[in-house]
Structures are given as C-alpha cells and as structure tokens.
Structure 1
Amino acid sequence: MTTTTPSKILIVEDEILAAENIAKHLRKQGYEVSGIVPSGEEAIARSTELRPNLVLMDISLQGSIDGITAADRIGHQLQIPVVYLTAYTDSKTLDRAKSTNPYGYLVKPFKFENLRVSIEVALQKYRDEVVKEQRFAEQLEDSQAELNQLKRLQEEHRSIAEGLSQALKNQEFSLYYQPRVNLRTDRIVSAEALLRWHRPQHGTVLPATFIAISEANGLIDPIGEWVLRAACDQLQAFQESGLKNLSISVNLSGSQLKLPHLHVQVERILQDTQIDPRFIELELTESTLIEDMDWTVKQLHALKSLGVNVAIDDFGTGSSSMLLLHHFPFDTLKLARCFITNIDCSPKDITIASSIISLAHKLDIKVVAEGVETQAERDCLQQLGCDEIQGFLISPPIPAAQFLNQISS
C-alpha cells in the first residue's frame, strides 16, 4: 500500500497565537507545517532553506519588507506558490497583491474549511502548471533537437552539393553492374548500371544519398549524361571481350526526361560509342512517368525511334501502373521488390505476380523480377513464367572487372 507524502506548508504570520491556531488545524487536516515565521525576511530565508510546497503569507509583518514583497521574491525566485491570509481588502493592497500572481487570497477572519479548500486549489493549480511547464520544456527540447537535425541535414546537403559540383571533373564517379539472368537459359543476359560516388574522405556513396540533391542543384543532367556514356563505353568493352549479346540498362531521372534534347543526346552517345541501340535499355519509375504524361509519351517515342528499349521500374507500387501500360511503349516491366520478397510463401503475391506476368506477355512486354534473394523465390518466379530475375541471389552490384569475371565463369 502506497502512502502519500503530506504537503509541507510554511506559515508567515506575526501574530503568534493566530499562527499556532492555523498550524494546529493544518496538522489535523494532514499537512506538515514546515515552520512559523513573523517577518518577510525570515519567510524568504526559510523558504529557500526548507522548500515548502506552499507558503501562507500575511501581508502586514514584522521587519523591513511586507508580505507582498516577500511573496513576490518567493514566487519569482523560488517558484513556490503563495496564498495570502490578510485583513486588507483595499484596492491598493489588492492591486499590489495581484501583481505577484498569488495562488489565493483569503480575507481574515476565515473558516478553516475555506482555508483547506484554498490550499488544495492552490496546490493543484501549481501541480498543473508544473506539468505544463515540463511538457513545454520537453516540446522545446524536441523542437531544438529537430532544428539541430535540420541544420545538420542542411550542412550535409550543402557539403554534398559542393562535392558533387567537383565530382565529375575529379573523376569520382564509377558504375557498378548488377547481373540479370534469363530464367529459361540460366545465363546472364543483361546488367543494370548503377552509379557510385567515391567521395574523398567519405568512401563509396550510394545514389539514394545524393541524387535528390543533384536534381535540386541542377547537377543531375550532366551526371545522367556521364552515366549513359560510361555505360555505353563499358558495354563496348564487354562486347569486345566476347559478350556480343549482353545488354545494359540505365536509369533516367525525371529531370533528364524533361530535357528537350534528350533523344539527341542519347543518339550522339550511341554514335560516339558505336553501340547498337537494341542493347541499351532506359529505365524510368512510375513517379517520373506521370509528371507530364503528354510530354513523356513524346519523349519515349522519340527514344524508341532510336532503337533503344524502354523499361518501367518498380511496377505495381503506384496507383497508375495499369494506365501507364496503356499509354507508354514499354519493352520491359520490372516487378517491384515488394511482390517478390517471400513470394513462395504468399498466395496473394503469387496471384498478383502471375496476373502481371500474364498481362505483360499478352502486351509483348518482357518481365524482370527485382530483389530476388532466395532460391525458393527464383523457383516460384520461374514457374510463373517470369523472363528474367535480378537480385542478391545472383549478385550484388559489382565493378565492371568483377562482373566480367563472373559472367565468364
């Protein structure tokens, strides 16, 4: 059984008999009387020493300061609630007392029942204020932490933007390649080119960290052009090594898709590298495609006229997936990873994937499953008629030399 600690009350009253009478009644009602003092100076000193829960303060006191001055210091300096017990009811005294924000004002003579009620109301008001102050302090602390985090992010973004502006010139970018395997032949037939930034003093940085910043700072277009050219150069090297039928997929950003001269840029790179366009696949996400559908249709048809293939990435994660199949000339559909993970254990995902694969094949669209990590997932997708798979079961993204060794073996 828990016991409640009694509230401690300091009585400030220069009439000793009246003070003793108040103390007697308080003790009967379960309060702890911290002491009785007759002056404002002693009231401040004992409040500082004893830290009572409440001070009952007469206004007319011994000493050089009255109860109002003492209450003001106790309230503001020590944050202890004060209830006045006084015979004064004149406007001047009331105005002075109100300026100290008291927790009560009892006029003598008073009933002890009214004193008890005033004490309880004052204590509860003070507790509520303490709780509010604590909540405010916590909110302020949380806000400060969020502000500090925002400042750190802003500084990090600024640092990344400054680093990106020099990364191309300093040759800090490279491409890694993640193999795609044909499920009918069990051979690597393609690879997705994935950008890596080897940032000095920071190590290898993944695109998720810097792509949005590069878009916001207008750096994505030259970076995107570099990626496509580097991928074509590497594909040419792969083909010269004997991988005549290998294809490479490259991701396009929304910013690149808005470039009026995008198809001219792609055509120039294909000509410069002497790459057969049917071995290049350009990947776009659903969010990129739906920003301006009329413009996107024109862009994709212009790109398709060059002979390159077009793929929709993360298919099935958006609300407009079926609409996109109707509007855009896709060659490849990449099933989102959310349908692939543990597909062998999910009849619902099997049904969804089977329906998408069947629909895509009827539209003469190849289906690639992303994020395949287990043999069970691979076997299930093969049974569903999926064309190709990509994921850590085959290989993580790896540098070109390592990719060449893997495909050769």
Structure 2
Amino acid sequence: MLVGSYNPLFVVLSILVAILASFTALDMASRVSASQPRRIAARWLLAGGVAMGAGIWSMHFVGMLAFRLPIPLGYDLWLTLESLLVAVAASIFALWLVSRPTLPHLRLALGALLMGLGIAWMHYVGMSALKMSPEIDYDPIWFALSIIIAVGASWSALYIAFRLRTVEHALPPRLIAAMVMGLAIVGMHYTGMAAARFPANAVCTAAIGGGVPTEWLAACVVLLTVGVMAVVLTISLFEQRMQARLLHLRNSMLSASLDDARKELFHASQHDSLTRLPNRQLSHERIEQMLQDGQAFTVMSIDLDGFRHINGTFGSQTGDAALVEISERLRQLLPAEDLVGRLGGDQFVIATTLAQPEDVDAQAERIILAVNSVRAGGRDLRITASLGIAQYPQHGNNAAQLIAMAETAMAYSKQSGRNSHALFADWMNDNVEQDRRLLEDLRKAMGSAQLSLHYQPRVHADSGRISGAEALIRWRHPEHGYIPAERIIRLTEQSELMDAIGNWVLDEACRQMRSWQDAGNSEWRVSVNLSGRQLGSPKLLEDVRTALDRNELEPSRLILEISETAVMRDAENTIAVLRSVAGLGVGISIDDFGTGVSSLLHLKRLPATEIKIGRAFVLALEDSDEDVVIVSAIVALGHALNLQVVAKGIETQGQRSYVERLGCDHLQGYLLGRAVSAENFMRLHGGDAQHAAMEARLASFQASPE
C-alpha cells in the first residue's frame, strides 16, 4: 500500500478555513432570520449557502492538498465541481432549516442526517476526483465513523446556529461556536482520509489524463473560497453597520418624536385646546408659584355675561372665535409675567402682581373695556363681563381658595348689574351666620349716612332730554364697602326690616323728587321698585299716600315698578292693591316685561301705565333679528294699550338707534348714565330742565302781542 503524509502548513490552513466557514454559516443564519421582507431573506439564504458551501468544500480540498503520496496527483474537473455543488446545496438546506421559527428535535435530527450525508457525499465525491487506478479502498469502520462524525458535526452546527441566530452582540459566542463547528468538520474530513487505503501499484489517472494540476487547484481553491467568504462577510458587516446606524437613527428619531409627543401631550394636558391659555390645573399651579414668593398679588375671575346667547344665535364657531379673540386681548393687555388662564366655558382667571386698590380697579376697568367690543366671525359683537377680585393674603392662602373667593365676588358683580367688578368681602360667603350679622348691621345703618339712594336717568327718546330717574338703594358698609342691592333685598325680604326699608326708600325718593321739582324740574318723574313683600302688604296704599302727602308731591310724579313674578304670588290681592294705588294717580310700571310666565294674561288686568322691556332683549338687538322682532312686538302691544314703553339696559349707540327706530318712548342704561348720588345727578343732568324752562319762556315771549 502507498503510504501518505501531510503538509502541516496545509493542515493548519484547512482548520482555519473550516473555522472561517463555520463563522460565515453562523453569521448568515442570523442574517437570514433577521431579514425582512422574504425576498431579502432569500437573497441572504442563497449568498450564505454559496459562501458556507464554498468554505466547507475549500476546507476539504485544502485538507486533500495537505495529503501527499509518492506518486503525482491531480483532480478531475467535473467531479470537483460536483462536490462543490453538493456542499453548496447542503449549506443552503442547513441555513433554511435554522431560519425557521422553530426547530423541534425530530426536525433537527432529520436535518442533521441529511446535512451530514451531504457533507460525506461532498467528501467522497471529492476523493473520487483523484481517479485512482485501482480504486481507493475504504476501511469499513473508519468509513462508518466518518459518516457518524459528519452527522454529529451537522447536528452541532444546526443546533448552535439556531440558538445564536437572534443573539445580539454575539461575536465572542460565535467565535467559540465557529471553532467547535470547524474542528468537527475537520474531524470528519481527516477521519474519512484515514479510512482511505491506496494500493501499492495505484496510479492517479487524473494527473496523467489532463486533470487539474495540484498547484493550480490549491491556488484556485484558496483564492476562490477566501474571496467568496470575505466578500459575503464584508457585505454582511457593512449591512450590519448600516442597520445599526439606521436603527440608531430610527431610535433617535423615535426618541425625539416621543419627546415631542410627550411635550405636546404635557402641554395639552395643561392648556386649553381652543385658546392655548393655561387650563384650570396649570392656573392653580401658577398661582401656587406666586404664593411661594410671599408677595401680595391679585386674582381676578372673569365671566362673560350671556355668552350662551352668542353661541345660540350665531353658532359655536362664532362663539369659539370670540373666545380666542378675547384671550388674545387679555394676553396683550397684561404683562408677560401675569397669568391669563381659561377655567372653562366663558370663564377666565387672571393673576397679576398689582396689589394697590387703585391699580387693581384701573386694571379691572381696562379688562372689562377690552372685552366689551369684539369682532368674530365677521361680526362686531357687544360682550359684557362680570369681574370678581380676590387678593393675597387678605382673602386666602392657596390657589383654590383665592379663585373661589374671586368667583364669589364675580357672582355678586353679575347680580349687581353686570359689566362691572367687585372686590371680595366676607359677607359674600352666603351662610346663615353671616346673613344674621349683615342683617344686624343693616338694622343699625337705618337712619345713618350708610344708606342712600342713587338715581339712574331715563331719557325721552324723541328729545333726548331727561324725563326722570329710577331710585336704587345703596348701602356703603364700613367694612365691606358697597353691598349690592339684590343682597339687601334678599336679606330684608326674610325679615320685618323690609317694611321699614321699603318705606324709607319710598319716602326718600319722594323727598328728592320734591327737591328737584322745586329746582325747576317739573316734568321729571321718579320710579321706585317694590318688593314682593310690599306688594302683598295691605298697608301699601297708606304708605304711598303718606309719602306723597309728607313731601307734598303730586302722585303723577311717582312711578312704582313691579315684576310679574311678584304679582303672581297672590295675583288677585295684588291687582286689587295696585288698582287702589293707581287710583291716587301714581304710575305703575311692569319691569322686565316679556320675561314673565303670564305677561299677556295679566297685562290687561293690571292698572299699568308703562312697560319696561327686559334688558336681555335690548342687549341682543344688534346681533339677533329675533330679538328685534320681539322688541317691535312689545312696543306695538304697549302702544295699542296706551302704555308708555321704556327700553332699559342700553349700553351702545347701536342699541339706542334700534329702540328709537322701533318706537320706544323712554330710554335707560349705562350709555345714557349710570346711577349716581342725588347731588351728582343734579350736577350732571339738571341743565336739561333749565334749558327746557328757558325755551318755554322764550316761546311765551314770542307768542305775546307786541
């Protein structure tokens, strides 16, 4: 038998090639598993199979080249290529198998058997490429052992590749696994070589009959295999880095997007979606921050009067546009460090560092003025606002308390006639004990300078001159300032003090009217509001007659204003009392006509001389055609019944023009004059009477004969 030997350098080279092939197989397994979509995975499967197969095949032939016999050796080209194709096919199958989602034991065993047989086939076909004559004889035991080693090596390779395919940063484990797999494949090769027995007279016909020379085969195998694996690994490494960069970029973009989304969500959670103002939560937090400074500051609560009417008449889009416009005006009006927030609906909150009363009052007036005229949805809207004021530290020591106190003051501002502001006072907290104390203070104020009457002018629609005034009670409390008239009436109606207050108001109004009449204002009339308790009193007729007689005032100079609600409490008795009072010659005015539940039913029974159109109708005249129709109908009804018609609540020139064109007889509202003291009333409006007297004297002089 021919005795062979091995070149140590080529043996080492074959081991290195086997390890490199194994590492390529592991890398390709992970690449195929991670690739999406399927067409990309298929490309990596084909490329990886070729590289892995070429590596195994290269290891085999480097190992064959390491083997030396004392005769010339060569290799048949076609059998050599066949062994290469077998190695590539087995490798593609192996990569496909480990790229499956699962690898059960039975599938692993069958796969290892098929792959091991493929590797053995590649080895023994490669051996047959020598074309030895006589043929190579194989030892059965060593032959069987080589097959077993091939299957075992395949099982190990498949198992390790499947386990490491999804492991990130798996370079050290893959290197170790590649060494184990490479040594297993080398072990199979050299076991198969040990099984080969060459007869003593054997000749390599491939070397004689034009086979591929050993030197050329060695160069081609090494260059081809190393080149293929190097290209594939380079592409894999490049793609891996590109994927890492893309992943990092994607993660960075995702992180930035998440940060932006988180910021937007946080901003949205603390800001109103419509106006972008701080919402209730953030407003509370901002006020709490101001509290930490320890400096005095002011909190204002603003509520838009009758804003639902704008939404109902012009639609929510116009209402939303108005809210946005008001928000922008408030932001521009206040310094950047001040808080402007929206608590919800048409309610806003302001926190300003202003603390001096005169500064706060001036700022409140500017805020109300800024809200009054707004253009939204292509319309000029007239909007009024009620504003309540609370101050730190007088009215609270936390945000919730300060806002609550400001809202309480705002509610009293709304009750007091709207479009005004009020500073919070302890009595505004409506409870029994405070009502009791306030009522006791009112009882003490009777007959003192704390109580007075203010007078709001009413004007002839035709001439524009003063026709009289409405008397309104005012109480200037020594601690709490002015108490709204509605508060006074609510307190007194629940006690016997109502009779005394009512008689005092009636007598004081008659006295003042007598004084004005003596000053030459003979055409003026004064109107006094009657409470429900007074209307139900059998003494009303006597009280009215006494007040007129005491002040020597003609009954026609006095008008008593009543509400339909008060009449309905005891309609029959009230109507009888009013008829007796009207019999004296006193005028009877139905206040807020059109807002009651039975206006037309009782109008013909009441001895009324005039009707006053409700303020809500007048405020909406410029914006609502329906309200124009309603006011027009009320005027026509009043005139048909020979009643004077008074329009109250006039605040704009446009509203005045409407009611004048619709035929109202008298006008009343902030545009024509606010309620002032008797002295100021005479100073502001007394000139009209003097001017009228001069015209009367001139007309008399011109009419007298020469």
TM-score, normalised to structure 2, is: 0.37
Q: Is the 8 A contact 1:284 1:311 kept in 2?
A: yes
Task: Tell me whether 1:162 sits opposite 2:437 in the alignment.
Answer: no
Give the 3-state SS of the residue equivalent to 2:651 in structure 1. coil
Matched residue type, 1:198 = R
> What is the distance in 2 between the residues matched to 1:150 and 1:331?
37
* Structure 2 Cα separation of the partners of residues 232 and 354 of structure 1: 33
Measured after TM superposition, the shift of residue 152 of structure 1 is 5.7
1:221 paired with 2:221, answer: no
Separation of aligned partners in 1, 2:609 and 2:489: 26
Aligned residue number for residue 450 of structure 2: 172
- Determine if the alignment matches structure 1 residue 362 to structure 2 residue 656: no
User: How far off its partner does 1:154 sit?
Assistant: 2.0
Q: 1:389 aligns with which of 661, 667, 682?
A: 667
Match of 1:83 in 2: none
Measure the CA separation in 1 of the matches of 2:623 and 2:537.
44
Higher helix share: 2
1:376 corresponds to: 654
User: What runs of 5+ residues in structure 1 fail to find an aligned partner?
Assistant: 1-144
**How many matched pairs?**
266
Whether the aligned pair in 2 keeps the contact of 1:160 and 1:210 (CA below 8 Å) is: no
Matched, 1:292 2:570: yes
Q: In structure 1, how many angstroms separate the alpha carbons of the residues matched to 2:602 and 2:475?
A: 32
Q: Shift of residue 194 of structure 1?
A: 0.3
Q: Which residue in 2 is equivalent to 1:184?
A: 462
Trace 1:9-408 onto structure 2 (pairs within 5 A): 153-408=431-686
Q: What is the CA-CA distance between 1:167 and the residue it aligns to?
A: 1.4
Cα deviation 1:202-261 (Å, max 9, x = unaligned): 222121122111111221110000001000110111111111111000001111111112
- The RMSD of aligned alpha carbons is 2.2
**Counterpart amino acid of residue 236 in structure 1:** R
Structure 2 residue ranges without an equivalent (≥5): 1-403, 405-426, 688-706
Deviates most, 299-308 or 161-170: 161-170
Q: Cα gap change, 1:193/1:151 in structure 2, threshold over 3 Å: closer, same or farther?
A: closer
CA–CA distance in 2 between the matches of 1:367 and 1:258? 26
- Letter matched to residue 650 of structure 2: V
What does the per-residue CA deviation read over 1:301-348, in whole Å, with 9 as the maximum and x for residues that have no partner?
110111100001011112111112122111010000010003022110
Local SS of the residue matching 2:436: helix
With over 3 angstroms needed to count, the CA separation of the structure-2 counterparts of 1:152 and 1:182, relative to structure 1, is: closer
Per-residue deviation, 1:281: 0.1
Summarize deviations over 1:139-190 as a string: whole Å, max 9, x none: xxxxxx9xxx998622221121111111114342100000001111110101
Distance in 2 (CA, whole Å) between partners of 1:299 and 1:272 is: 21
Q: 1:3 aligns to what?
A: none
Instruction: Give the conservation status (yes or no) of the 8 Å contact 1:228–1:250.
Output: yes
What's the secondary structure of 2:657's corresponding residue?
A: helix
Q: Deviations over 1:266-324 (max 9, x none)?
A: 11111110000001000001110111111011101110111100001011112111112
Distance 1:345 1:283 in 2: 29
The separation in 1 between residues aligned to 2:456 and 2:633, in whole angstroms, is 26
The alignment's TM-score, normalised by the length of structure 1, stands at 0.62
The AA in structure 1 aligned to 2:521 is L
Deviation at residue 380 of structure 1 after TM alignment: 0.7
Letter of the 1:318 counterpart: G
Letter in 2 for 1:316: G
* Structure having greater relative contact order (Cα 8 Å, sep ≥ 6): 1
Closer, same or farther in 2 for the Cα pair 1:353/1:187, shift >3 Å? same
**AA in 1 matched with 2:532:** G
Query: In structure 2, what residue type is equivalent to 1:185?
Result: S
Higher strand proportion: 1
Distance 1:388 1:150, change over 3 A: closer
- Counterpart residue type for residue 575 of structure 2: V
CA shift in 2, pair 1:333/1:152, >3 Å: closer
The 2-side partners of 1:257 and 1:336 are apart by 21
Residues 1:405 and 1:170: Cα distance change in structure 2 (over 3 Å): closer
Residue type at the aligned position of 2:615:
R
The one-letter code matched in structure 2 to 1:160 is L
Identity over aligned pairs, percent = 38
- Secondary structure of the corresponding residue to residue 178 of structure 1: strand
Separation (CA, whole Å) in 2 of partners of 1:227 and 1:203: 20
| CA distance in structure 2 between the partners assigned to 1:299 and 1:360 by the alignment | 22
* Secondary structure of residue in 2 paired with 1:282: strand
Please give the secondary structure, in 2, of the residue aligned with 1:260. Answer: coil
Helix, strand or coil at the partner of 1:345: coil
* Shift in CA distance, 267/159, structure 1 to aligned 2, threshold 3 Å: same
Are the structure 2 counterparts of residues 151 and 399 from structure 1 closer, same or farther at C-alpha, using a change threshold of 3 Å?
Answer: closer
SS of 2:635's partner is helix
